[in-house]
């Protein structure tokens, strides 16, 4: 039997891997909300004004939208639930 799995396009691969960048950007402010500030301080020192929590959340949202547009369809529902969780988490934290 041959491998019948369809090969992913370049755009689909870019869409699927962009969420990894978003999750790293999301993890830093999430840790700060729970009292672990050291990673956020390092990011602020390294990237200056681009290391602020609001910018990192914007990077997460942009990469999630890119994943929704270019990634596989079966990832949309977890991403939408992640948006809901993020809004609830950061509504009281920032």
pLDDT in single tens digits along all 94 residues of the chain: 566 777 777 777 777 788 888 888 889 988 888 889 999 999 999 999 999 988 998 898 888 778 777 766 556 667 677 777 777 777 665 5
Q: Quote the pTM value.
A: 0.66
Residue 38 lies inside a defined structural domain of this protein: yes
Residue 5 lies inside a defined structural domain of this protein: no
Residue 4 lies inside a defined structural domain of this protein: no
Residue 55 lies inside a defined structural domain of this protein: yes
Residue 61 lies inside a defined structural domain of this protein: yes
Residue 87 lies inside a defined structural domain of this protein: yes
Domain range enclosing 26: 11-93
Q: How many domains does the chain have?
A: 1
Can you give the pLDDT at residue 92?
61
Give the dihedral sign, CA 26/29/35/37.
positive
Other C-beta atoms closer than 10 Å to the C-beta of 43 total 21
Residue 1 lies inside a defined structural domain of this protein: no
């Amino acid at each position: 039997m041959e491998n019948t799995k369809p090969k992913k396009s370049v755009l689909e691969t870019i869409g699927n891997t962009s969420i990894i960048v978003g999750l790293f950007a999301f993890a830093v402010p999430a840790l700060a909300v729970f009292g672990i500030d050291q990673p956020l301080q390092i990011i602020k020192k390294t990237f200056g004004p681009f290391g602020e929590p609001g910018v990192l959340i914007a990077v997460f949202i942009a990469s999630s939208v890119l994943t929704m547009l270019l990634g596989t369809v079966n990832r949309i529902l977890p991403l939408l639930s992640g948006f809901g969780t993020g809004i609830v988490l950061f509504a009281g934290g920032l």
